[in-house]
Structure 1
Amino acid sequence: MFTNDDALSVLVTGLKNAHAMENQALSIMKPQVQRIENYPDMHARLEQHIGETEGQIERLETIFGDLQERHSTLKDTMLSVGGSMAALGHAMAGDEVLKDTFANHAFENYEIAAYRSLITLSEMTSLANVTPLLEQNLSEEENMAQWIRDHIKAVTERYVSLSSSGQTAKR
């Protein structure tokens, strides 16, 4: 049988991972938003989600303060570098905007799973003040994933339309 201390230890590790994950998300989205030219809806939604992600990091830092813990600078740095490399890899592709869309959708679903797990852990530890902050992060991730899912068709059609007319389609 687990103890409250066991769940708390897993929660703290998960929170450190989530903080690094959100920094990774910023390192992926910021280069994307700088490169998007022909997809104004995507540009606007990425800008919005960058702001949401910055708020998610602030909420995670609030939780760390409440728990008298700190995020992992090493994890933050390593995942941010990985995110930057992924963004760079897509920038080289002819169908960059499509690859970014697919990767963003996958990443949002990864974040959703992480927050659902963290919410479970926060409930197991009876940390009532933590759960609402994590639920807010989860809601924003679910909304972004839904937005991407709802726009995959439009992005694909716009890509083909721009490409067939000889315009810059990749961004």
Structure 2
Amino acid sequence: MASRDVLQELFVTGLKNAHAVEKQALSIMTPQVTRIENYPEVADRLRLHIEETNGQIARLDEILAEFDSSGSALKDMGLSMSGSMAALAHTVAGDEIVKNSFANYAFEHFEIAAYKSLLVMAEDGGFARAMPLLKQSLGEEEAMARWIDEHLPVVTRRYATLYAEGGSAKAKV
């Protein structure tokens, strides 16, 4: 197994990466929620997850502070910009709400994997104080992924119905 110093270096890098990914998540979800019209349950859940994501960023800041570190402004900015571009790309699609659901589902699983990896490093490196905070964030990501999974049939059917009726099937016109 790697030395504690190496694990700490990897752990801090992983925390900075997770911080940037959470900033990216905000840049993806925030524009989505403003465009949702015919899917109020999706908008409500995204608003809740935006609050959770802000909490996750605060928890990552707290853990990083214990290592006399902070999030990487460059990584945060870079991933936030790429998240904004991804959100913008879907706005031109007629099936924006469905594409956003696919992307959000995949993104949640990316975050789940990141937190699981951080938990392994925390355990192996003896960074026990970080574990409850990381587990809380992991639980929130898993809950969001489950919610998307459970609601994808509803969103898909509503999209198809609105499309068939000639109404606005987009998230918002």
Deviation string 1:58-117 (CA, Å, 9 cap, x unpaired) is 000000111111210000000000000000000011100000000000000000000000
CA distance in 2, matches of 1:65, 1:35: 36
Q: How does 1:9-20 map to 2 (within 5 A)?
A: 9-20=9-20
TM-score normalised by L of structure 2: 0.98
1:9 Cα shift?
0.7
Match of 1:161 in 2: 161
Tell which deviates more after alignment, 43-52 or 160-169.
Answer: 160-169
Match of 1:72 in 2: 72
Match of 1:39 in 2: 39
Amino acid at match of 1:159: Y
Amino acid at match of 1:141: E
TM-score normalised by L of structure 1: 0.99
CA distance in 2, matches of 1:2, 1:65: 23
Match of 1:89 in 2: 89
SS of residue paired to 1:52: helix
CA distance in 2, matches of 1:4, 1:94: 51
1:49 Cα shift?
0.1
Amino acid at match of 1:80: S
Match of 1:54 in 2: 54
CA distance in 2, matches of 1:115, 1:81: 22
Amino acid at match of 2:56: Q
Q: How does 1:19-34 map to 2 (within 5 A)?
A: 19-34=19-34
CA distance in 2, matches of 1:98, 1:154: 10
Amino acid at match of 2:109: N
Amino acid at match of 2:47: E
CA distance in 1, matches of 2:70, 2:57: 12
Amino acid at match of 2:18: A
Q: Which runs of 4+ in 1 moved over 6 A?
A: none
Deviation string 1:33-71 (CA, Å, 9 cap, x unpaired) is 000000011010000000000000000000011111121
CA distance in 2, matches of 1:163, 1:70: 46
Ranges in structure 1 where 5+ consecutive residues have no aligned partner: none
CA distance in 1, matches of 2:49, 2:162: 25
1:16 Cα shift?
0.4
Give RMSD over aligned pairs: 0.6
SS of residue paired to 1:129: helix
Ranges in structure 2 where 5+ consecutive residues have no aligned partner: none
Deviation string 1:118-163 (CA, Å, 9 cap, x unpaired) is 0000111111110110000000000000000001111000000111
